[in-house]
Amino acid sequence: MALRAFGRLAGGLVGAALIALAPAAVQAQAKKLKIGVVYDYTGPLAGGGSELHALGAKIMIDHYIKKGGVEGYQIEAVYADAQSKPDIAINEAVRLVEQENVDMLLGFFSSAQCVPVAARVEQLKKFMWITTCISSAVLENRNLKYVFRVQPSGRQFGLMSTDFIAKVSKEKFGKDPKDLKVAIIHEDGAYGVDVAKGNEEGAKKAGLKVVLKEGYAATAPDLSSLVTKLKRARPDVILHTGYNPDITLFLRQARELGLRFSALIGHGAGYGVYDKLKESLGKDVNYIFNVDPISIWLANEKALAPQLPPMIKMIGEEYEKARPGVTVKSAHVGMAASNTYVLMTEVLPRAIKKYGGVDADALRKAALEVDLPEGGTMLGFGVKFAGEGSPIAGQNERAFPVIVQYVDDKAHVVWPKSLQLRDPTLPLPDTSPYAMK
C-alpha cells in the first residue's frame, strides 16, 4: 500500500515537473524570425531583374530554413508582390508589419519604391534589409536608424562608367577625354536620376564632353524622339540607365532609325538580365557593357573567404533547377543571395547571441558591428555600414560595382583593371548594327 502511495506521489511529482517545464519547452520551440520579403513578381520591373533578385533571396532563405534556422530561431518567410508600383510596395510593407506581424523586411528592387518604403518602415520602427535598390536618395541625409543596404549606390555606378571611359579614351578611341562626346540617358525615377547624377559628376571630373543629358518615363511607349536627339548630338559613348521594356524599346528604335555610336554602357537593372536582352534583341546585345556588382559566378574564388565558394556552387545549382538552360547566369540572383547571406551569417547570429533577440534594435546594433574585409562576401567586396551621424547612415561603405561586357553569350569583367578577365572590345566592331562605320 505504502509503495503504491509512493508511486502515486512520485508520478504526481514527475507530472507536475513536466507541466512546469512545458511552457519553457513550448517557448523554446516557438522562437521564430518572421521575414517579410517584398519584390516585384508582376509588372514591368519583374522581367527587368526583380524576379531574379527574388529568386536569389528565396534560395538563401530556403537554405537556412532547411538547416533549421539560425541560433535556435526558426525562419518563416512571407512573400509579397509590389507589382512594380511604389504605392503597392508601401501598402504591402505596412500589411506585412501590421497584419502578418513580421519581425523585419527584406528585399526591394526598385529605388522608386525604396525611397518611400524606407521612410514608412522607419516610422514603424522595424528593421529593413535592402538587397537591391541602389539610389543614393534611399539613405542620403535621411538619418534612418533601421534601414541598411549592402549594395553599392547609384552614384558609384555612375562614377564607375565615366572613370572607365576616361581611362581608356586615348588607347581605345584615339581621343583625349575632353574630346570624347558622351550622352547620358536615363529613366526618370529615383534609380535613373541617381545614376545619371553620378555619370554627370564623373564626366565633369574626367573632363568628358556631355552632349546630351535626358530622362524619360520607363513606361514611355515611344522613344524615337530621344533617338533623334542622340542622332543630332552624335555621342561616341551612350551611358544608359533603364529597366527592361524601355531598354528593349530604345535599342530597337535606335537600330531602326540608324543611330550609331562607339560604345553603350548600361547600369544594372535591365542590363543585368542578359537572357531577356538576348531574347528581345538577338545578337545586337553583343559588346554592350553593364555596370553592376560582380556576378558571383565570375568572382575570383581564391580571393574569397573559404566558406563562400561552396555557397556559390549551391546557389548556382538551385538557380539551374529554377531556371534550367539559362545562357548567362544573371548577376541579379547572386546579388540578392549574397546580400541575404550576410544577414543570415553576420547580423542574425550577433543580434540573437549578443543582443538577446531579433527586435529592430537588436538587429540594428548587430548590423552596425558587421566588419567584413574585401573578399568577405560572394560579391568580392567587404561590409561596414555607415553609422548614426553619417550622411549615408545605413550604407555599406565597402561596396563597389564592376563593369562587364557581353561577348558571344558570355559576360566578361573588363573593369577595374585589378579584376579584369578580358580586355574590353572598343569601339564597337563593324559586326554591330550600331557601330560607327
Residue 148 sits in the same domain as residue 162: no
Angle, CA 253 vertex, CA 247 and CA 258 arms, to 5°: 125
- Residue 319, pLDDT above cutoff 80: yes
- Residue 181, pLDDT above cutoff 70: yes
In a domain, 265, yes or no: yes
Indicate the number of domains in the chain. Answer: 2
Residue 64 sits in the same domain as residue 186: no
User: What is the CATH classification number for the domain harbouring 338?
Assistant: 3.40.50.2300
Residue 320 sits in the same domain as residue 359: yes
State how far the alpha carbon of 352 is from the alpha carbons of 26, 77, 97, 358, in Å.
18, 18, 20, 6
Band of pLDDT at residue 4, cut at 50, 70 and 90: very low
Residue 42 sits in the same domain as residue 127: yes
- Residue 334, pLDDT above cutoff 50: yes
In a domain, 430, yes or no: no
Instruction: Give the structural domain span for 172.
Output: 155-292+401-419
Band of pLDDT at residue 299, cut at 50, 70 and 90: confident
- Mean pLDDT for 249-253 is 96
Report the C-alpha gap between 106 and 99 in whole angstroms: 16
Q: Are strands 237-241 and 263-267 parallel, antiparallel or unpaired?
A: parallel
Is 34:76 a contact under the CB 8 Å cutoff?
yes
Residue 52 sits in the same domain as residue 144: yes
In a domain, 380, yes or no: no
- Per-residue pLDDT tens over the stretch 17-71: 444 444 444 444 569 999 999 999 999 899 888 999 999 999 999 999 999 999 9
pLDDT value for 258: 97
Is 148:385 a contact under the CB 8 Å cutoff?
yes
pLDDT value for 201: 96
Name the residue among 430, 411, 392 with its Cα closest to residue 333: 411
In a domain, 433, yes or no: no
pLDDT value for 10: 44
Half-sphere exposure of residue 279, counting CA atoms within 13 Å on the CB side?
13
- Per-residue pLDDT tens over the stretch 113-151: 999 999 999 999 999 999 999 899 999 999 999 999 999
In a domain, 267, yes or no: yes
- Residue 369, pLDDT above cutoff 70: yes
Residue 182 sits in the same domain as residue 264: yes
Mean pLDDT check: name the lowest of 271-275, 306-310, 377-381: 271-275
Residue 264 sits in the same domain as residue 410: yes
Residue 118 sits in the same domain as residue 262: no
Residue 261 sits in the same domain as residue 236: yes
Report the C-alpha gap between 380 and 151 in whole angstroms: 12
pLDDT value for 379: 94
Residue 122 sits in the same domain as residue 249: no
Report the C-alpha gap between 158 and 433 in whole angstroms: 26
The DSSP H or E segment spanning 422 is none
Report the C-alpha gap between 254 and 220 in whole angstroms: 15
Residue 229 sits in the same domain as residue 350: no
Report the C-alpha gap between 133 and 388 in whole angstroms: 21
Q: Which three cell numbers stand for residue 291?
A: 555596370
Give CA 348 to chain center in angstroms: 20
In a domain, 114, yes or no: yes
- Per-residue pLDDT tens over the stretch 93-118: 999 999 999 999 999 999 999 999 99
- Residue 165, pLDDT above cutoff 80: yes
Q: Which three cell numbers stand for residue 86?
A: 511604389
Backbone angles phi, psi at 36, to 5 degrees: -90, 120
Backbone angles phi, psi at 405, to 5 degrees: -125, 135
Residue 140 sits in the same domain as residue 194: no
In a domain, 274, yes or no: yes
